[in-house]
């Protein structure tokens, strides 16, 4: 089992708290958190990464489908935990035996059968509560006058507005008798209700005055007191009475307040007669329904929760695309990061499509439109980009190779590992951001770069010269003159490149063209009318070279070759000018159709894009010193990854340069071995336990 990194736990927890504070509008708390627990390079600022790291993408999508979705990830997770706990409890209840269920059912029937099974004391107390419920406002006023209390004459004494609040006394014996109650003496013998004060008896007055003082003293020490409110309509409810309002001297019976024993209060709440329960229940249901309606209306008035906002992020969860965008709102992000932003013009769209397809009336096929930079979730292959169908493999393999460079050798070019990388979701997304920025910045001559983003609205109307495709005419072109701002923008909008439902591959291609500019790309090519996509939607060598070296040259040999055609002028064939970070191997060299130069065969990092059978894939080593002349090993391992082959296991090849390979004409030799031998001549290739790819 892979151990949990404590630093990752701390980083994820802090990111969750920051997301919660931001969504709740607690900006001061967020600033305090940033001061006391500053963000670092491990802090997550992208909710796509945060959701994937926590593996709650499905929970977020389910939450979005609710009528009133939660706005923060913590709430979504807590809701899930509560529902899961309730589900387990319900499952345990379902395992209870049938006889126990039957006993529970019989007990329930016995409770509702009537008052026959109710204890005598409960019946007596029930009668007391019944009596209290029938007290009218006039009787209360008369009772006050007898008790020597002041009556609020300004209050509306109509039955519909007056109410009686019953407060618990210590016991029934604390309550005196009153002539206002019928058969008071009989009830007194049974321990019934009695007034706290009343009559002319001096002893009674003194006793009651002492009780009042004790009650007042007790109320000072009590923060709040729960009371039972009974109005003349028979509505029963709980109230909270602050102790501050009960510190005044004198009897505590203002506004029609009576005292009743805790036993009577409990019985009144739990053992109402059927008639009382019906009337009270109806009133409570009406009021509850009204409260629920008001609550629902307030919820409808709340702003839509489609946009999930981090402090410096703005993310939309779309039910259709299942895409989460994190970052500043587009207008704020543009003003903070890039120098210029403009919608694409019809003329630019025409020239763009002519460069890519050769015609402005052509468009990308479905294979391209559905392709993004989403990663494999299989064990040992988490570093790999998944290709859906053939076509975009050239640009995918180039990005894949660059991602491997950042995962393994970005900090130390000569690093050595025991196994290929096993990145977390956050690490591979970060590598994708770094790779895309690196490719675009290099294409812009390391002076500037551009990124295109779809706006959803067409910038112009299509005509006879241009055929709309629903994407190109909606583009916004964002220009950058800082590599750091470029990375920040990609990080905030990485969902447009990584989401499975996006056209991330097309967006990166368009960004490449605008970073290099159409004019410079045409000057890079041997043929000015060349294209970046060939027949059947395949990437041309010019496009692969543009991704790997920043220039759309047409060849893979070193430098520039002059071609003497016998005329006055000589043709120039352009190749790779200097050592590339990522290498390139081709099956065409095995068939003597081309020559791959040392700048591609011996790259800065031991990673190669492989062209074999009109398909591009990736070959790499985990030993950063593999290409060092002095420490070159004679037997070593290299790994192969093909996003289109639907790999379900790691492919490890052992290369032996000591033992010379002898080709047998009867053997079926895998094309990949031919490509490998263009770099390591006559080496033997052992596929170990993997079935060779023919």
Which residues participate in catalysis according to the annotation? 393, 615
Judge whether 590 and 677 are in contact, CB under 8 Å. yes
**Which residue intervals of 302-418 are DSSP H helices?**
330-337, 346-357, 366-369, 393-409
Task: Supply 556's token pair.
Answer: 């893979």
Do β-strands 560-563 and 315-316 pair in parallel, antiparallel, or remain unpaired? unpaired
Judge whether 518 and 507 are in contact, CB under 8 Å. no
**Which DSSP string do the residues of 160-211 spell out, in sequence order?**
TT-EEEEEE-S-GGGS---TTSTTHHHHHHTT----SS-SS-HHHHHHHHHH
Say how far apart CA 50 and CA 562 lie, in whole Å.
53
Say how far apart CA 390 and CA 644 lie, in whole Å.
7
Q: Is 551 helix (H, G, I), strand (E, B) or coil?
A: coil
Sign (positive or negative) of CA dihedral 341, 343, 347, 348: positive
Q: Is 339 helix (H, G, I), strand (E, B) or coil?
A: coil
Burial of 467 (0-12, 13-18, 19+ CB in 10 A): middle
**Which DSSP string do the residues of 367-380 spell out, in sequence order?**
HHHT---PBP-STT
**Which residue intervals of 423-517 are DSSP H helices?**
425-443, 483-492, 495-498, 504-516
Q: How many residues does the chain have?
A: 694
Say how far apart CA 650 and CA 376 lie, in whole Å.
12
Say how far apart CA 310 and CA 332 lie, in whole Å.
14
Q: Report residue 646 CA to chain centroid gap.
A: 28
Say how far apart CA 694 and CA 687 lie, in whole Å.
12
Question: For the chain, first and last CA: distance in Å?
Answer: 35
Judge whether 478 and 453 are in contact, CB under 8 Å. yes
Say how far apart CA 539 and CA 543 lie, in whole Å.
6
Task: Tell me which residue has tokens 């618990």.
Answer: 168
Say how far apart CA 84 and CA 322 lie, in whole Å.
24
Task: Supply 217's token pair.
Answer: 């003293």
């Amino acid at each position: 089992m892979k151990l949990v990194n404590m630093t990752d736990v701390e980083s994820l927890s802090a990111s969750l708290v920051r997301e919660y504070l931001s969504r709740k509008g607690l900006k001061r708390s967020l600033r305090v958190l940033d001061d006391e627990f500053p963000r670092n390079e491990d802090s997550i600022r992208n909710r796509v990464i945060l959701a994937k790291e926590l593996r709650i993408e499905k929970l977020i999508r389910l939450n979005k489908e609710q009528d009133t979705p939660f706005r923060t990830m913590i709430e979504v997770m807590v809701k899930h935990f509560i529902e899961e706990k309730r589900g387990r409890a319900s499952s345990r209840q379902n395992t209870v035996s049938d006889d126990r269920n039957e006993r529970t059912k019989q007990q329930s029937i016995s409770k509702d059968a009537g008052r026959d099974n109710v204890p005598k004391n409960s019946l007596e107390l029930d009668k007391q509560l019944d009596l209290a419920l029938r007290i009218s406002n006039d009787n209360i006023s008369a009772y006050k006058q007898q008790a020597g209390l002041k009556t609020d004459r300004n209050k509306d004494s109509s039955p519909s507005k007056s109410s009686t609040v019953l407060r618990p006394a210590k016991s029934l014996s604390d309550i005196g008798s009153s002539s206002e109650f019928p058969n008071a003496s009989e009830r007194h013998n049974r321990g019934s209700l009695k007034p706290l004060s009343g009559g002319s008896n001096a002893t009674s007055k003194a006793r009651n005055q002492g009780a009042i003082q004790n009650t007042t003293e007790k109320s000072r020490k009590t923060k709040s007191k729960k009371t039972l409110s009974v109005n003349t309509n028979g509505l029963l409810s709980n109230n909270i009475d602050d102790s501050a309002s009960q510190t005044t001297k004198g009897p505590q019976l203002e506004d029609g307040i009576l005292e009743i024993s805790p036993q009577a209060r409990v019985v009144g709440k739990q053992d109402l007669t059927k008639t009382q329960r019906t009337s009270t229940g109806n009133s409570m249901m009406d009021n509850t329904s009204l409260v629920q309606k008001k609550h629902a209306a307030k919820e409808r008035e709340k702003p839509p929760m489609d946009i999930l906002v981090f402090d410096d992020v703005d993310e939309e969860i779309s039910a259709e695309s299942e895409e989460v965008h994190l970052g500043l709102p587009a207008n704020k992000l543009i003003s903070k990061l890039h120098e210029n932003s403009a919608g694409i013009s019809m003329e630019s769209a025409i020239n763009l499509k002519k460069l890519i397809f050769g015609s402005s009336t052509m468009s990308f096929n479905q294979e391209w439109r559905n392709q993004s930079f989403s990663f494999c979730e299989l064990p040992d292959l988490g570093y790999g980009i998944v290709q859906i169908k053939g076509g975009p493999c050239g640009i995918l393999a180039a990005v894949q190779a660059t991602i491997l460079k950042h995962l393994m050798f970005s900090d130390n070019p000569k690093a050595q590992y025991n196994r290929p990388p096993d990145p977390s979701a956050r690490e591979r997304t970060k590598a994708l951001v770094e790779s895309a920025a690196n490719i675009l910045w290099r294409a812009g001559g390391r002076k500037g770069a551009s990124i295109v983003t779809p706006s959803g609205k067409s910038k112009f109307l299509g005509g006879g010269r241009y055929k709309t495709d629903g994407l190109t005419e909606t583009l916004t072109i964002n220009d950058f003159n800082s590599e750091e701002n470029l990375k920040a923008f990609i990080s905030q909008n990485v969902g447009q490149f990584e989401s499975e439902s996006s056209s991330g591959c097309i967006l990166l291609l368009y960004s490449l063209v605008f970073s290099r500019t159409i004019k410079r790309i045409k000057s890079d090519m041997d043929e000015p009318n060349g294209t970046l996509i060939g027949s059947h939607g395949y990437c041309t060598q010019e496009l692969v070279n543009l991704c790997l070296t920043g220039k759309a040259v047409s060849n893979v040999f070193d430098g520039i070759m002059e071609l003497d055609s016998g005329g006055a002028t000589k043709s120039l064939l352009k190749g790779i000018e200097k050592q590339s970070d990522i290498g390139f191997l081709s099956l065409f060299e095995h068939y003597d159709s081309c020559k791959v130069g040392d700048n591609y065969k011996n790259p800065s990092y031991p990673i190669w894009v492989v062209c074999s059978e009109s398909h591009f894939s990736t070959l790499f080593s985990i030993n950063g010193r593999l290409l060092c002349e002095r420490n070159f090993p004679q037997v070593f391992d290299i790994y192969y990854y093909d996003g289109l082959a639907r790999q379900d296991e790691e492919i490890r090849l052992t290369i032996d340069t000591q033992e010379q390979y002898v080709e047998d004409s009867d053997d079926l030799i895998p094309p990949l071995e031919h490509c490998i031998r263009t770099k390591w001549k006559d080496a033997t290739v052992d596929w170990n336990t993997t079935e060779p790819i023919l």
